[in-house]
């Protein structure tokens, strides 16, 4: 029966819409961020129009076929039978009067940054903080941005105005026609239909942003912990943000070098370079002994391009992640994170290429722009203010390392942040150890 259903579904498309394992583009169209997540679909289909997609979705919903939806980007969307790729949905329109953009769900955010730069210079969207994240997955699961400290999440009603959706019966609607559907799409995930286009607010934004890494040796840890915690507690400037990393500073295996655990701060100041280097900006970080200053002045698109090298593990390693919100980034949290990082690498040095700790220092508006508690959108808002992200992984072929990596992600948030509860996960990182009923 499954073979007949598959054949019937493919008959709804043209040969140009069908990608098989023998096709040269199959690997790119079916690749998952984590190797172990890939179910190697029998076929990837790339419908070129909403009408073709509607036919596929309508029929697929009547079959026993395993179906997945991929909006592009770097997620783990996959399936055993049919993977529907939205890579052909590349429409883009800027409305200068409404100050909105309407764009297809087949974009990555780097493409949107580029098109805004070309068609709406001086504007920025509440996008991801790197170029290679797909628009669909990020928006539908909340959407955190450099702009979020000022304008909230991408899915907030003032930012996400409308979504074009193919529903499971194949009908095509703009979600504003069905308010409950639009509510669900604002941060509730992608299980309510297939999003084909988004209409979002864009904002006039500075084009001279002070940003980049400041790198440190491990012996600067105590100074970094003290000064970063002080910054996190005092800063209320919506145009400033900070990321603190514990990771392999040489890119280890990827660069063919011996791993070198270290620390880095990525600073972001949209007030410009003069402010960024001042005592009101990040002078404190530059003054920490041993600091290596790699900062630059870039526009918004250029800032996001600084993270392109982070795409290197895509589809190369078995990897797991855990992302939680925390109320504060204090000295003890930073010190525990570093100890956890080193302890994991000591248990299994093979994990060095995939292991990192990332603490994102943000402003309250990111999660509380709608107040708390808030039922205005489906995204589970929180009183917490900052993010703690953990990741680890290893080249496929080591079951013991896989088991340790999974265990580390399940237990890591509790070890680093003892006040962590199951409600504090954010939905971009969903693994089997997370009880979704507790997330809020």
CATH code (residue 113):
3.30.465.10
Domain shared by 219 and 348, yes or no: yes
**Is residue 429 in a domain?**
no
Domain shared by 26 and 96, yes or no: no
Domain shared by 96 and 79, yes or no: no
pLDDT band of residue 429 (cuts 50, 70, 90) is low
The more confidently predicted of residues 219 and 1 is: 219
8-state DSSP, 67: E
CA distance 154 to 115: 18
CA distance 362 to 236: 9
Q: Could you give the C-alpha distances from 175 to 107, 126, 183, 201, in angstroms and in order?
A: 20, 20, 9, 16
Mean pLDDT of 37-49: 97
Q: 148-180: b or e for each residue (b if 16 or more CB lie within 10 Å)?
A: bbbbbbbbbeebbbbbbbbbeebebeebeebee
Domain count, the chain: 3
The more confidently predicted of residues 250 and 98 is: 98
Residue 311 has pLDDT above 80, yes or no: yes
Residue 297 backbone class (left: φ over 0; alpha: ψ -120 to 50; beta: rest): beta
Domain extent for 275? 209-424
Residue 251 has pLDDT above 70, yes or no: no
Domain shared by 415 and 375, yes or no: yes
Residue 36 has pLDDT above 60, yes or no: yes
Contact partners, residue 9, CB within 8 Å, separation at least 6: 45, 56, 59, 60, 63, 65, 82
Domain shared by 263 and 335, yes or no: yes
Q: 200-210: b or e for each residue (b if 16 or more CB lie within 10 Å)?
A: bbbeebebebb
CA distance 383 to 386: 10
pLDDT band of residue 250 (cuts 50, 70, 90) is low
Q: How high is the mean pLDDT of the chain? A: 92
Domain shared by 50 and 166, yes or no: no
**Is residue 439 in a domain?**
no
Asked which of 85, 112, 131 is the last residue of a domain, the reply is: 85
Question: In this predicted structure, what is the pLDDT of residue 378?
Answer: 86
Q: Rounded to 5 degrees, what angle do the CA atoms 317, 388, 110 make?
A: 60
**Is residue 392 in a domain?**
yes
Domain shared by 254 and 188, yes or no: no
**Is residue 248 in a domain?**
yes
Write the DSSP string, 308-363: GGGGTTTTTSEEEEEEEEES---HHHHHHHHHHHHHHHHH-GGGGGG-EEEEEE--
Domain shared by 258 and 273, yes or no: yes
Count of CB atoms situated within 10 Å of the CB of 273? 17
Domain shared by 98 and 217, yes or no: no
Residue range 339-396, pLDDT digits in tens:
999 999 999 988 887 899 999 999 888 888 787 777 888 877 788 899 999 999 999 9
Give kind and range of the element (H or E) at residue 224: helix 221-234
Mean pLDDT of 32-40: 95
**Is residue 434 in a domain?**
no
3-state secondary structure of 210: strand
Mean pLDDT of 315-336: 94
Please state whether the peptide bond connecting residue 373 to the residue before it is cis, i.e. omega within 30 degrees of 0: yes
pLDDT band of residue 255 (cuts 50, 70, 90) is very low
**Is residue 135 in a domain?**
yes
CATH of the domain at 414: 3.40.462.20
On whether the CB atoms of residues 261 and 341 are closer than 8 A, the answer is: yes
User: Which of 37-51, 178-192, 252-266, 313-327 is predicted least confidently?
Assistant: 252-266
The more confidently predicted of residues 310 and 359 is: 359
Question: In this predicted structure, what is the pLDDT of residue 249?
Answer: 66
Residue range 127-176, pLDDT digits in tens:
999 999 999 999 999 999 999 999 999 999 999 999 999 999 999 999 99
Asked which of 185, 204, 223 is the last residue of a domain, the reply is: 204
Residue 195 has pLDDT above 60, yes or no: yes
Output the six-digit token pair for 380.
Answer: 């589970």
Strands 261-269 and 240-248: antiparallel
CA distance 397 to 423: 33
CA distance 261 to 412: 18
Residue 435 has pLDDT above 50, yes or no: yes
User: Which of 220-224, 245-249, 405-409 is predicted least confidently?
Assistant: 245-249
Domain shared by 317 and 199, yes or no: no
Domain shared by 396 and 313, yes or no: yes
**Is residue 435 in a domain?**
no
Residue 182 has pLDDT above 90, yes or no: yes
pLDDT band of residue 430 (cuts 50, 70, 90) is confident
Question: In this predicted structure, what is the pLDDT of residue 253?
Answer: 43
Question: In this predicted structure, what is the pLDDT of residue 333?
Answer: 97
Domain shared by 191 and 331, yes or no: no
CA distance 67 to 56: 10
Mean pLDDT of 34-53: 96
On whether the CB atoms of residues 61 and 11 are closer than 8 A, the answer is: no
CATH of the domain at 26: 3.30.43.10
Asked which of 143, 175, 204 is the last residue of a domain, the reply is: 204
Contact partners, residue 293, CB within 8 Å, separation at least 6: 214, 286
Beta bridge partners of 214: 265, 293
Question: In this predicted structure, what is the pLDDT of residue 438?
Answer: 76
Give kind and range of the element (H or E) at residue 184: helix 179-185
Question: In this predicted structure, what is the pLDDT of residue 257?
Answer: 58
CA distance 383 to 177: 31
């Amino acid at each position: 029966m499954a073979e007949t259903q598959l054949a019937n579904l493919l008959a709804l498309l043209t040969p140009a819409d069908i990608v098989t394992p023998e096709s040269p583009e199959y690997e790119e169209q079916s690749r998952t961020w984590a190797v172990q997540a890939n179910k190697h679909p029998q076929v990837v289909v790339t419908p070129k129009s909403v009408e073709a997609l509607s036919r596929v979705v309508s029929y697929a919903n009547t079959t026993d076929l395993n179906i997945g939806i991929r909006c592009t980007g770097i997620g783990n969307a996959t399936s055993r039978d049919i993977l529907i790729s939205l890579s052909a949905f590349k429409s883009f329109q800027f409305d200068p009067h409404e100050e909105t953009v309407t764009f297809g769900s087949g974009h990555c955010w780097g493409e949107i940054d580029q098109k805004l730069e070309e068609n709406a210079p001086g504007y920025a969207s509440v996008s991801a903080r790197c170029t290679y994240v797909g628009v669909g997955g990020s928006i539908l699961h909340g959407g955190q941005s450099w702009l979020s400290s000022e304008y909230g999440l991408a899915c907030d009603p003032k930012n996400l105005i409308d979504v074009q959706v193919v529903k499971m019966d194949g009908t095509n609607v703009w979600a504003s026609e069905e308010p409950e559907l639009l509510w669900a799409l604002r941060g509730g995930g992608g299980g309510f239909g297939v999003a084909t286009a988004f209409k979002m607010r864009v904002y006039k934004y500075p084009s001279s942003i002070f940003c980049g890494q400041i790198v440190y040796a491990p012996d600067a840890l105590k100074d970094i912990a003290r000064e970063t915690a002080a910054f996190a507690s005092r800063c209320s400037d919506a145009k400033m943000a900070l990321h603190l990393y514990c990771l392999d500073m040489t890119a280890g295996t990827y660069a063919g070098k011996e791993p070198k655990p270290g620390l880095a701060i990525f600073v972001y100041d949209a007030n410009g370079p003069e402010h960024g280097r001042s005592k009101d900006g990040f002078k404190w970080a530059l003054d920490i002994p041993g600091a290596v200053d790699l900062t630059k002045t870039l526009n918004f698109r250029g800032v996001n391009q600084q993270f392109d090298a982070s795409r290197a593990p895509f589809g190369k390693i078995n990897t797991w992640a855990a992302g939680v919100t925390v109320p504060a980034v204090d000295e003890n949290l930073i010190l525990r994170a570093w100890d956890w990082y080193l302890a994991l690498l000591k248990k299994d040095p093979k994990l060095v290429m995939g292991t990192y700790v990332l603490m994102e220092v943000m402003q309250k508006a990111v999660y509380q722009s709608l107040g708390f508690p808030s039922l205005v959108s489906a995204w589970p808002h929180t009183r917490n203010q900052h993010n703690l992200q953990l990741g680890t992984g290893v080249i496929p072929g080591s079951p013991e390392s896989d088991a340790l990596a999974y265990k580390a992600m399940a237990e890591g948030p509790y070890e680093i942040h003892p006040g962590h509860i199951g409600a504090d996960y954010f939905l971009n990182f969903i693994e089997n150890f997370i009880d979704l009923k507790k997330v809020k």
